[in-house]
Structure 1
Amino acid sequence: MYKVFLLSLLLAGPAVAQTLDVAPTLIADRKAVFATVESVDTLTARTRIGGTIVDLLVDEGDFVEAGDVLALVVNEQMAPQIASATSQAAALEAELAQSRVDLERAQDLFSRGIIAQSRLDQAQTAVAVLEGRLASATQSRDVLVQQEREGQVLAPAAGRVLDVLTPSGSVMLPGEPVAIIASDHYLLRLNLPERHARSIAVGDEIEVAGAALGGDVASMGVIRQVYPLITNGRIVADAEVEGLGSYFVGERVRVHIAVETREVIVIPRGYATTRFGNDFVILETDSGRRDVVVLLGRDLAEGVEILAGLSAGDTLVQP
C-alpha cells in the first residue's frame, strides 16, 4: 500500500502553486455618525375660534387619524348669539306667513275688482322683502352655528401626538396651538461635517448599526434628500429606513455612510501568513520567490487590505 502511494505521488508530479497579480481596487470609506429619528412632517393642531377648552381628548403618545377631534373649545358668547339669531328667524317666518296670507287675499280682491293694482303690488313687495330678510337671518344663524362647530380642534393629519401644549380649561385665542403631531412617516436625519457635502448624494446607501436595530427595522437605508444649507459647519441629509415607526422621535441611532472612495490593494486572506508577530506574503520575482513583510489593514468582503509592502503589478504565490 505504501509503495502504491509513493508511486502515485511520483506520477502526479510537483503541485503548481496558485499565483495572484496585485492590482488596486476602489473601496468606499465609511464614516460612523449619529442620526436622529424624525418625522417627515410635524404639524400643529390649532384653534379656529377663541374660547375655553372644555374637553381635551388626547394625550402625548396617542395615535390619531386625520380629522379626529383633539379638543373642544367653547365660546360662551356663541350660544346666546345663536339663540338670538334663531328667534329673529322664527319671527320673520311668522311675518312672512302672514304676508303670504295677505297676498292671497289681495289677489282675490283684485280679481273681483275690489282693490286697485297698487294694493296688490304692495302685498307682493312685502312678501319679497320678508323672504329676503328671512334668508339673511337664516344665513347669519348658519354662520354662528358653523363657528360653534369650529370649536372642535381637528387633527390636520394622521400621526402620533408628540406634545399637548395647553391643558383643559385654558382660554384660547383663534390660531393658538393645542397639540403637535408627527406624521406616521419616519426617517433618519444625519448631520455630517461640511467636508463630506459633495461626496454624498440622493440614492446613496447607509448602514444602520446592528446594536441599534429593533425587530422590524431594516439594516440598510437610502438617502432621500440632501439639504443645500450648511449650518455651523454641518450638512443635513434624510434617509429612508423601513420599520422606524416603533422608534421615539428624536432617538439617536448610529449609522455608517460612504463618504469617499480610494484605491487600495486587497488580497485574499489565504495569501498572507503570520510568523513571530509579523505578516508575510510570498513574492514572485525574476530572481525567485522571497518572503516580504506586509502591513495588513481591515478585513473586507473581498479579502484583507494591504497598507504597506506591496505595489500594483507584483505577483504573489499562495503558501
Structure 2
Amino acid sequence: MVRAAVRLAAAVVAAAPLVVSTSLAGEFLVQPLMVAEMKAVFGRVESRIVVPGRARIGGVVQDVRVSEGDHVTKGEVLALVVDDKLALQLRAADARLEALNSQLENARLELERAEQLRASGTGTQTRVDQARTQFEVATNQVAAAVAEKAVVEQSAKEGEVLAPATGRVLTVPVTLGSVVMAGENVARIAPGPYYLRLSLPERHAAEIVEGAEVAIGERGLVQDIGELPAVHSGRISKVYPEIADGRVSADVEIEGIGDYFVNERTLVSIPVGKRSALAVPPEAVRTVHGIDYVRLAADNGEMDVAVILGEIVGDDDARRIEVLSGLRAGDRVVLP
C-alpha cells in the first residue's frame, strides 16, 4: 500500500513534465545508508502483576458478584462464602453470654448484700472479700465471652471475598454452591501495568538491545479499532538473559495498551540488525506502464533507468524509498 502511494505520487509528477522548468531541476547523489533490519513477530499482552482474590474462610460459595472481564476496585466484594457452623457458634456464644451475665448479676447482688451486712456489723470482712472475688471472676468471664463472640462475628464477616487491587478480572474459577477452603482462589485480578512479551529466535539475541524503538501494528484480528491509531510506538524495556527452547524473550513498554486483553497477541516490528541500502527521494521515481524509472545525470546527458523499489526508509524529515536494483553508489539522480 505504501509502494502504491509512492507510485501514485510519482505518476502525478511524471504526468506533467512540461510544467516543470529544467532550471528548477536538482540532483541527488546516491550513497549507501544504514537502515534498521526489521522483523515482524507477535507480541503477547501480559500484566506485570496478577493477584488472586482468596477466600478467608472455608465454606460454600453463596454469591458470585463478578465475572471474567469486569473492572473492580480495591476492597470491592467479589463473592460471598458462608459457613453454616459459624451461625451455630454464634448462637452458642449468645447463650453462654446470657448465662454469664446472669452469674454476674448474682455476684453483684451477693457483693452488695455482704457489704450491707458488714456495714451493719453483722457480717464479716471475709464474706465481703469472697463476694468481691466472685464478682470480679464473673466480670472477666463476661468479657471473655464477648471477645469470643466478636471472633465468631469477624469470621462471618470474612466470608466476603474482597478485591485485593484495582484491575480487571481474568478468571473466576468458582461457581454458586461450590465448596472452597480458606486460602483458595475465588478470582484472579490483573491490576497492570500491561506490556508486550516477545519471543524471538536465538539467532537474533545479539541484535536485540534495551531501549530500541519498535512499531506495534493493529490489534490482532480486530477490524473496528475506533479511535485507536493504526500503529503504536514502544521501546524494548528488558531483554531476558536466559534462552529457552532456542528463543529469547524481551518486554516492550507501550502507552495506551490498557484496552487490550491479557494474553492478546498483536503484531510487532522489532529491529534485529542493520543493513546497507541505496535509497532516493520518492519524487525522483516516476512510473510508466507499471514500470518504475529514475532519471540519471551523466556527462553526455540524461537517461532513464528502470529500478525495482523496496520499502520506505528514513524518518518524516528525510523520507526515502529503497532501490533494490538499477542504481549504484555514486549515481546522480535528477530530481524534478
TM-score (ref. length: structure 2): 0.75
The answer for the alignment partner of 2:251 in structure 1 is 238
Residue 262 to residue 33, structure 1, CA distance change in 2 (3 Å): same
Distance 2:149 2:159 in 1: 16
Report 1:17-28 matches (<5 A): 18-28=26-36
The answer for the alignment partner of 1:3 in structure 2 is none
The answer on 1:223 being equivalent to 2:235 is yes
Deviation digits for residues 161-182 of structure 1 (CA, Å, limit 9, x no counterpart): 3332122111222222222333
CA contact under 8 A between 1:203 and 1:222: conserved in structure 2? no
Structure 2 unaligned blocks of 5 or more:
1-21
Deviation digits for residues 252-309 of structure 1 (CA, Å, limit 9, x no counterpart): 221212222334333324445678957555365xx76676776643232421224454
Structure 1, 147-156 or 56-65: larger mean CA deviation: 56-65
The answer for the alignment partner of 1:282 in structure 2 is 296
Distance 1:269 1:56 in 2: 61
Pick one of 57, 60, 84 that aligns with 1:76: 84
Question: How far 1:77 sits from its partner (Å)?
Answer: 1.2
Residue 299 to residue 243, structure 1, CA distance change in 2 (3 Å): closer
The answer for the alignment partner of 1:146 in structure 2 is 154
Distance 1:224 1:131 in 2: 68
Structure 1 unaligned blocks of 5 or more:
1-13
The 3-state SS of whatever aligns with 2:123 is coil
Question: How far 1:53 sits from its partner (Å)?
Answer: 1.4
Report 1:254-269 matches (<5 A): 254-269=267-282
Residue 131 to residue 289, structure 1, CA distance change in 2 (3 Å): farther
Question: How far 1:130 sits from its partner (Å)?
Answer: 1.9
Q: How many pairs were matched up?
A: 302
Question: How far 1:83 sits from its partner (Å)?
Answer: 0.9
Structure 1, 69-78 or 230-239: larger mean CA deviation: 230-239
**Letter of the 1:105 counterpart:** R
Identity, in percent, stands at 38
The answer on 1:67 being equivalent to 2:75 is yes
The answer for the alignment partner of 1:6 in structure 2 is none
**Letter of the 2:202 counterpart:** E
Report 1:58-207 matches (<5 A): 58-183=66-191, 185-207=193-215
CA contact under 8 A between 1:223 and 1:237: conserved in structure 2? no
CA RMSD of aligned residues (A): 3.2
**Letter of the 1:316 counterpart:** R
The answer for the alignment partner of 1:304 in structure 2 is 321
Question: How far 1:15 sits from its partner (Å)?
Answer: 4.2
Question: How far 1:61 sits from its partner (Å)?
Answer: 3.1
**Letter of the 2:164 counterpart:** P
Deviation digits for residues 116-170 of structure 1 (CA, Å, limit 9, x no counterpart): 3332222222222222222222111111111111112222222333332122111
Distance 2:114 2:219 in 1: 92
Residue 296 to residue 126, structure 1, CA distance change in 2 (3 Å): same
Residue 80 to residue 317, structure 1, CA distance change in 2 (3 Å): closer
Distance 1:34 1:92 in 2: 70
Residue 15 to residue 170, structure 1, CA distance change in 2 (3 Å): closer
CA contact under 8 A between 2:77 and 2:161: conserved in structure 1? yes
Deviation digits for residues 81-107 of structure 1 (CA, Å, limit 9, x no counterpart): 111112112221222222223223333
TM-score (ref. length: structure 1): 0.79
Question: How far 1:79 sits from its partner (Å)?
Answer: 0.9
